[in-house]
């Protein structure tokens, strides 16, 4: 079976974990500090704060930007639910803006229509590892005085004209096992703003400036030394992992682009292919494709089958908080976000991770070609 995701862990990670275990220092030690320093270098930022997950990173970024009840945050409906969940967990309201059909990312041309006097932040997602149009979003954020928080949980080492994602705004990354690099569970916040970094550090650790000096009400969302040690080993391999993902994606596109819609990156955009996501030409065929590919030893996944604004947990979010490119509603008055909804019916991710060999790629190509005939 060619799985849809597989973490690549080796002797380096194993040795690093054993070193931490024998040191006896399991929390808040040198590995976390070293990992933060290495990851900040990757993102070309001054500060980074390691936390317990990507969700923790997003939550702390929102809190550090002082986003809370009564505030609105503009985001995409086409992402993992955590992106919008954190907005609601701090008491704010997500405002869903439709996506671009080609990149699957938040459509910057629709963002201004969604801004109100309650808007506090824009939270775009670099979906599948493809950077959002950050230069455009930066201009809008600056013009309206909004925070820009990047959900870069799928986009380690992605860049626009050489500038790393996570450095355009406040960056939030995840190190869950399926991501482009892993620590088991883990996350990090990246920023060039030392004051913001300090606030995230406080909130991560019970608001303690010094031990038992609580200047704020915080959480325990720390990363352990064991996780950080794995991260230090993984970050060394990130560039090699990324190049392998790009090579696999390039090969897949070379053979599949005239049969199915393959991923598109704008010129100068470094897409790091967290997922290699195609559109199944006839959306009613997707279940058949998944079944056929599985029978031939190819794992696939749908990212994501239901846009967030249509999730049961989002029924109570006012439907006026959906901004699409057409003023259309269904028979119940629920506005459509037509681009995201069409994508949710058609997308299918194929294996692209660095454990996929050239022979695996050719197997995937052959089987997808067979389905197109």
User: Contact positions toward ligand PLP, by CB under 6 A?
Assistant: 53-55, 79-80, 82-83, 125, 151, 153-154, 174, 176, 187
Q: Which residues contact 218 (CB under 8 A, 6 or more apart)?
A: 202, 203, 204, 205, 206, 207, 208
Least spacing, CB of residue 21 vs ligand PLP, in Å: 23
- Cβ proximity to ligand PLP: between 54 and 108 the closer is 54
- Asked if residues 43 and 242 have their Cβ atoms less than 8 Å apart, the reply is no
Kindly state the smallest distance separating residue 113's Cβ from ligand PLP, in Å. 24
For the bound state, the minimum distance from the C-beta of residue 163 to ligand PLP, rounded and expressed in Å, comes to 20
- Output 80 or 335, the one with its CB closest to ligand PLP: 80
Whole-angstrom distance, CA of residue 191 vs CA of residue 144: 20
Cβ-closest position to ligand PLP: 54
Phi and psi at 238, nearest 5°, equal: -60, -40
Tell me the closest approach of the beta carbon of residue 128 to ligand PLP, in angstroms.
Answer: 9
**Residue 151 vs 341, nearer CB to ligand PLP:** 151
Q: Give whole-number Cα distances, 344 to 81, 149, 303, 340, in Å.
A: 13, 24, 8, 6
Instruction: State which residue, 337 or 368, has the beta carbon closest to ligand PLP.
Output: 337
Output 204 or 256, the one with its CB closest to ligand PLP.
204
Nearest C-alpha neighbor of 129 from the set 233, 228, 244, 41: 244
Written as six digits, the tokens of 30 are: 């040198």
Least distance in angstroms from the C-beta of 23 to ligand PLP? 26
Picking from 139, 339, 162, the residue whose alpha carbon sits closest to that of residue 267 is 162
């Amino acid at each position: 079976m060619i799985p849809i995701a597989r973490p690549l862990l080796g002797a380096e990670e194993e040795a690093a974990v054993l070193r931490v275990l024998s040191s006896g220092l399991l929390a808040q030690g040198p590995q976390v500090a070293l990992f933060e320093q290495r990851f900040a270098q990757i993102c070309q930022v001054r500060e980074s704060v390691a936390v317990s997950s990507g969700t923790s990173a997003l939550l702390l970024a929102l809190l550090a930007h002082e986003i809370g009840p009564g505030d609105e945050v503009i985001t995409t409906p086409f992402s993992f639910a955590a992106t919008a969940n954190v907005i609601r967990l701090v008491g704010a309201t997500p405002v869903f803006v439709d996506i671009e059909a080609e990149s699957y990312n938040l459509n910057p041309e629709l963002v201004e229509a969604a801004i109100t006097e309650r808007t506090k932040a824009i939270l775009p997602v670099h979906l599948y590892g493809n950077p959002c149009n950050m230069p455009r979003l930066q201009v809008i954020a600056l013009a309206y005085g909004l925070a820009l928080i990047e959900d870069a949980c799928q986009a380690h080492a992605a860049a626009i004209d050489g500038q790393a994602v996570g450095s355009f705004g406040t960056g939030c990354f995840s190190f869950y096992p399926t991501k482009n690099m892993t620590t088991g569970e883990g996350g990090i916040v990246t920023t060039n703003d030392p004051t913001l970094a300090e606030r995230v550090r406080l909130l991560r650790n019970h608001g303690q400036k010094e031990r038992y000096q609580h200047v704020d009400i915080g959480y325990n969302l720390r990363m352990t030394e064991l996780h950080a040690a794995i991260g230090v080993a993984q970050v060394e391999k990130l560039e090699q992992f990324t190049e392998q993902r790009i090579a696999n994606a390039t090969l897949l596109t070379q053979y599949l682009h005239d049969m199915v819609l393959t991923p598109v990156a704008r010129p100068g955009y470094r897409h790091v292919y967290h997922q290699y996501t195609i559109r199944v030409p006839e959306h009613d065929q997707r279940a058949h494709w998944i079944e056929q590919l599985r029978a031939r030893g190819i794992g696939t996944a749908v990212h994501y089958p239901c846009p967030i604004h249509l999730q049961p947990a989002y029924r109570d979010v006012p439907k006026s908080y959906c901004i699409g490119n057409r003023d259309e509603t269904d028979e119940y008055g629920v506005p459509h976000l037509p681009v995201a909804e069409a994508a949710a019916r058609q997308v299918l991710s194929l294996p692209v991770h660095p454990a996929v060999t050239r022979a695996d790629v050719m197997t995937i190509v052959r089987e997808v070609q067979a389905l197109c005939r």
